[in-house]
Amino acid sequence: MSAPVVTRFAPSPTGFLHIGGGRTALFNWLYAKRHGGKMLLRIEDTDRERSTPEAIDAILDGLKWLGLDWDGDVIYQFARAPRHREVAEEMLARGRAYKCYATQAELEAMREKAKAEGKPMRYDGRWRERSEADRQAAEAAGLKPVIRLKAPLEGETVVEDLVQGRVTWSNDNLDDLVLLRSDGTPTYMLAVVVDDHDMAVTHVIRGDDHLTNAARQTQIYQAMEWKVPAFAHIPLIHGADGAKLSKRHGALGVDAYRALGYLPAGLRNYLVRLGWSHGDQEIFSTEEMIAAFDLKNVGRSPARFDFAKLESINGHYMRHTGDEELLSAIETMLPYIEGGPALLGELNQLRRAQWLQAMPGLKERAKTLVELVEGSRFLFATRPLALDDKAREILEKGGRALLKALLNRLESLETWDAATLEAAVRAEAEATGQKLGNLAQPLRAALTGKATSPGIFDVFVVLGREESLGRIRDQATA
């Protein structure tokens, strides 16, 4: 029986959870779920200068909104520094690491020289085999050492990557990396390895940008004689122009996608298809996603972020989401958009009921919750309605006259349902020899203030008799 799968998502809280990180988290989550394992969450906050509690909150909030949960408590890497130090000391004791007293100036000179000679920029190992006397002399001179890994000089280091395949580095391209800084704090490279080992992580699924780190980390595992976890380096997400994702492109925090009106399920579906595929299938329920997900169908080339496709998928989810659920999604989104809180304040029982009633016609016409809210404005509008340009044009070019004629018919209706209303308007159209659209558009303009809306007879019903007639009268007599 193989060990249970343990994955982890390990963001550093130096910024918000961006879309690439969101996808990495999703892949880790899916892989863990797929294999009945666990996904752990570790906050890599060892950079005390740049880590902020706000960023930690944003990351946790973003994951929760995306619907990705983790097992156990959140692990904070900084709190584990003593353990990291302990491992560094152990490596020293085992002769797999050594103290290095090279100064920043020496290091800088080394880099300059390498550059000038066209050689790889790497530490030359000058303290690898120094005598005890040299070390004492350095200490006496007040130098604080770092602890470096005594990396293998010959042979090669191999990473068997579940996505990238077998990747090989010649060891003379890998230098003796720093494990412990001169101030006694661990470096990222050490901390990651120690934490992943201690957390019993079996699968490290992360961005492609860590591929070369995997080689160096493998050397640390080997020095400690620890089992190397399986690696899976997934390709990065690029902006629409192919360049690295930046704030300008779509590397927005996932919270921004919430404010843009995307549904978590829609975003997840879009994200899972970025780099991964399952034949021709485009839409996946969460269960299908879990059942179908694997690493071998993750591609190796970077993908561009495409808002048009995200919108399309999100639109699909909007149409297939229940009305009540959609309304509550709107309510959780409203606080994050302009004018949202005010709208939220107007959401009384009556309004909710109306909105719910109009939802089937509304959700079919929106690709995002923001668009849905936009299309719902007429529900909340108060008389006399403000008209947009197209609605005004319809009314001014003969629309008002038509409304006057219609008004009598409508006012005399006994029942107020879609079928009755449609019959009445059609009767008027026939009597005057016009197309239904000729009458529908002025009605739409009067009722919604716009030239587009859900079916006009549904609008009549949602608005109710009094409000509908009032809005028509406003325009007919204007």
Partner RNA sequence: GCUCCCAUCGUCUAGAGGCCUAGGACACCCGCCUCUCACGUGGGUAACAGGGGUUCGAAUCCCCUUGGGAGCGCCA
Q: Which of 277, 286, 321, 420 binds RNA (CB under 7 A)?
A: 277
DSSP state string for 212-223: HHHHHHHHHHHH
CA distance 172 to 419: 81
Q: Which of 250, 379, 457, 472 binds RNA (CB under 7 A)?
A: 457
Furthest-apart CA atoms within the chain: distance in Å? 111
Shorter beta-carbon distance to RNA: residue 173 or 332: 173
Q: Which of 56, 107, 290, 347 binds RNA (CB under 7 A)?
A: 107
Q: Which of 169, 336, 380, 416 binds RNA (CB under 7 A)?
A: 169
Q: Does 279 bind RNA (CB under 7 A)?
A: yes
Q: Does 304 bind RNA (CB under 7 A)?
A: yes
Instruction: Give the pair of three-digit tokens for residue 26.
Output: 């999703």
CA distance 174 to 149: 11
Q: CA torsion, points 410, 411, 414, 420, in degrees to nearest 10?
A: 10
CB of 65 to RNA, least distance (A): 22
Q: Does 252 bind RNA (CB under 7 A)?
A: no
Q: Which of 167, 224, 327, 424 binds RNA (CB under 7 A)?
A: 167
CB 232 within 8 A of CB 161: yes
Q: Which of 247, 363, 390, 397 is catalytic?
A: 247
CB of 422 to RNA, least distance (A): 7
- In the annotation, is 247 catalytic? yes
The label of the residue with tokens 């509008």 reads 381
Instruction: Give the pair of three-digit tokens for residue 240.
Output: 């629409």
Shorter beta-carbon distance to RNA: residue 14 or 332: 14
- Considering only residues 2-41, where is the footprint of RNA by CB under 7 A? 12, 14
Strands 156-161 and 165-170: antiparallel
Q: Does 236 bind RNA (CB under 7 A)?
A: yes
- Considering only residues 459-478, where is the footprint of RNA by CB under 7 A? none
- Considering only residues 36-75, where is the footprint of RNA by CB under 7 A? 44-47, 50
Q: What are the distances in angstroms from CA 211 to CA 153, 158, 234?
A: 20, 11, 9
Q: Which residues contact 248 (CB under 8 A, 6 or more apart)?
A: 239
Q: Does 440 bind RNA (CB under 7 A)?
A: yes
Report the interhelical angle of 456-463 vs 465-476 (nearest 10°).
110
- Considering only residues 186-205, where is the footprint of RNA by CB under 7 A? 187-189, 191
Q: Does 170 bind RNA (CB under 7 A)?
A: yes
Q: Which of 197, 210, 392, 409 binds RNA (CB under 7 A)?
A: 210
CB of 313 to RNA, least distance (A): 7
- Considering only residues 376-415, where is the footprint of RNA by CB under 7 A? none
Half-sphere exposure of 105 (CA within 13 A, CB side): 1
CB of 197 to RNA, least distance (A): 16
3 state DSSP class of 405: helix
Any idea what DSSP says for residue 165? E
- Binding segment for RNA among 87-95, 130-138, 178-186, 344-352 (CB under 7 A)? 178-186
Residue of 372, 245, 383, 264 lying closest to 304 (CA atoms): 245
Residue of 27, 38, 30 lying closest to 5 (CA atoms): 38
CB of 32 to RNA, least distance (A): 21
CB of 183 to RNA, least distance (A): 6
- Catalytically active residues are 247
